[in-house]
Amino acid sequence: MITLPTRSKLDPLERYGLDVLLDLSRCPEVDDAGTGVVRFEITEADPGVADVGKCAARRWHIERGDGVVRVPRPVLRRLGEIATGAAEQRSTARDRHGRVPSTENVLVQQNLVAEPVVARAAAELRDAVIASAGRRAVTLVAPWPDGRRWAAAITHDLDVIDRWPVFTALRIAELAGKGEVRRVARTLGSAFAAVSRNPVQRALHALLEDERARGIVSSWFVLCGTPTLQTMRAGDLTYLPEGRGAAAALRALRERGCEINLHGSFVTSEHHEVFAEQRRRLAGLVQQPVLGVRQHFLRLRPGITSLGMAGAGFRYDTSWGFPDRNGFRLGVGDVIPAWDGAGERALELQEAPVIWMDRALSKYARVEDPNAWIAEGLSLARTCRDVAGLWVGVWHPNLTAALGFPDAPAAFAKLLDGLVAEEPFMAPLGRLVEWRVARRGVRVRGILPDGRPDAYTTAPTATHDTLTLEEPSGARRYSIQATPR
């Protein structure tokens, strides 16, 4: 628990940096400043914050005192820049898919993509609060429900349903170009064997079965526009959501209780009215509200696409991953508010960045062994566990032998086993986002006569009963009330 100075002196990006830092530190704010808890102060010192690695090595210049911690204002701004993708929001560079190239990202430039630097800064703050407390009370918010210390979400983009032999042909051309002769031969063998058996639907059912066997419920992102020759050629919209193949897939997902979200087609990233249209169309098909969205090819215009998503009524986005590498594009594996750079404000829309994607290594780094993809995914998952964060992984259900990916389904099962072994809290992404927003709203009124913190959450939520406070040692835990008195 900490007391804070007024935020009014800070500009919007500094305030955002402060809010994310506090949220990820899990140190709840105390309403009654007279309480004997650690004070948080902001200083005007300017230690130089351009070099992110140096900041991290110097513990983000967070000073420890007797009952006080001090953070320089430029540190808050720097953390705000990283967590909002500020440089990418300003960039005018585009790759061949109309995306801002990964090289515009400050963590890519400084070789820090494998490090959740913002989450590490928050851990430094937490350590500083504990070290500065003396005899003052220190209580933290527990990171995830059920006593779990980190979280993981399995997500899938449904890119291929109909016309699968076309995708086989494209993939064979890709493999042949890389000299992967044996994988080409195995693909051809599987494809010929599969001609009359619909390998896409079979792969989807096998994958759902792998998840069911481990008690995992996944989140899906489904394309929901009408394909044309042009969209098909571009690898954009390739199936009709009302078609027989898609209808069968959606039925299977609903039967399993999976969360069904929109996979925004290319045009949505700039033409926002199409977002609302696709969202409505999908909600009609699945007879339930569509909460989440992820852009196909992760094609988004930083900041601008988020505004469109918020305007169309989405609760969360999960597009801020790198298409061509794995890691922490916003310096966090977690849920943070999306940022409108032009309007300088946080949006109601929440962002849960993609940390790892099956094809990132294959498509861009020419690594074709699925076991290597999985090893990187699990390594990043362990990093998320270290910072009590959220790992969001993307697995494409069309990665099956007949479509050019022998060994991939077995690797997927291995990934699930590796994740489960580290005991994350696993749930559909929308549920994790809602819970995380409720955790962010935890406040403490003061300390009760018996020493217990008097805590509540400002977020209206049905999941408050799973929110808890804990002492840093883990020795005692306290429950939290639903609403402020």
Token duo for residue 448 = 């009760």
- Of 144 and 239, nearer to Zn ion (C-beta) is 239
- Of 23 and 159, nearer to Zn ion (C-beta) is 159
372-401 positions binding Zn ion, by CB under 5 A: none
| Distance in Å, CB of 379 to Zn ion, minimum | 24
| Distance in Å, CB of 356 to Zn ion, minimum | 15
**Can you spell out the DSSP letters for 83-95?**
HHTHHHHH-----
Sheet holding 468-470, edge to edge: 140-141, 468-470, 477-479
- Of 66-74, 149-157, 165-173, 441-449, the segment contacting Zn ion by CB under 5 A is 149-157
- Of 157 and 340, nearer to Zn ion (C-beta) is 157
Query: For the stretch 382-410, what's the b/e string if a residue is b when 16 or more beta carbons lie within 10 angstroms of its beta carbon?
Result: ebbbebbbbbbbbbbbbbbbbbbbbebbe
| Distance in Å, CB of 295 to Zn ion, minimum | 8
Collapsed DSSP state (helix, strand, coil) of residue 382: helix
| Distance in Å, CB of 290 to Zn ion, minimum | 16
155-174 positions binding Zn ion, by CB under 5 A: 157, 159
Query: For the stretch 156-191, what's the b/e string if a residue is b when 16 or more beta carbons lie within 10 angstroms of its beta carbon?
Result: bbbbbbbebeebbeebbebbeeeebeebbebbeebb
- Of 235 and 446, nearer to Zn ion (C-beta) is 235
418-447 positions binding Zn ion, by CB under 5 A: none
- Of 151-159, 169-177, 330-338, 359-367, the segment contacting Zn ion by CB under 5 A is 151-159
Q: Does 358 bind Zn ion (CB under 5 A)?
A: no
112 membership: H or E segment, kind and range: none
- Of 84 and 168, nearer to Zn ion (C-beta) is 168
Quick one: which of 345, 456, 444 has its CA closest to 136? 444
- Of 61 and 171, nearer to Zn ion (C-beta) is 171
- Of 36-44, 99-107, 150-158, 183-191, the segment contacting Zn ion by CB under 5 A is 150-158
Please state the φ and ψ torsions of residue 323, each to the nearest 5 degrees: -70, -25
| Distance in Å, CB of 88 to Zn ion, minimum | 20
| Distance in Å, CB of 8 to Zn ion, minimum | 43
- Of 88 and 159, nearer to Zn ion (C-beta) is 159
| Distance in Å, CB of 364 to Zn ion, minimum | 15
**Can you spell out the DSSP letters for 222-251?**
EE-S---HHHHHTTS--S-TTSHHHHHHHH
Alpha helices in 139-198 (DSSP H): 164-177, 181-194
Token duo for residue 307 = 């505004």
Quick one: which of 327, 248, 329, 258 has its CA closest to 291? 258
| Distance in Å, CB of 299 to Zn ion, minimum | 9
- Of 293 and 411, nearer to Zn ion (C-beta) is 293
In sequence order, which residues have a C-beta less than 8 Å from that of residue 335 and are 6 or more positions away? 316, 350, 351, 352, 390, 432, 433, 436, 437
| Distance in Å, CB of 351 to Zn ion, minimum | 18
Rounded to an integer, what is the distance from CA 190 to the centroid of its chain? 34
- Of 339 and 356, nearer to Zn ion (C-beta) is 356
Number of residues that bind Zn ion (CB under 5 A): 3
| Distance in Å, CB of 429 to Zn ion, minimum | 16
**Residue 288-317 contact track with Zn ion, rule CB under 5 A, x = bound:** --------x---------------------
Please state the φ and ψ torsions of residue 204, each to the nearest 5 degrees: -65, -45
Please, how many CA atoms are within 13 Å of residue 184, restricted to the half-sphere of its CB? 12
- Of 124 and 157, nearer to Zn ion (C-beta) is 157
DSSP for residue 102: G
- To the nearest 10°, report the CA torsion of 289, 292, 296, 300: 130
- Of 159 and 340, nearer to Zn ion (C-beta) is 159
Q: How many residues does the chain have?
A: 485
| Distance in Å, CB of 159 to Zn ion, minimum | 4
Rounded to an integer, what is the distance from CA 133 to the centroid of its chain? 33
Give residues in contact with Zn ion (CB under 5 A).
157, 159, 296
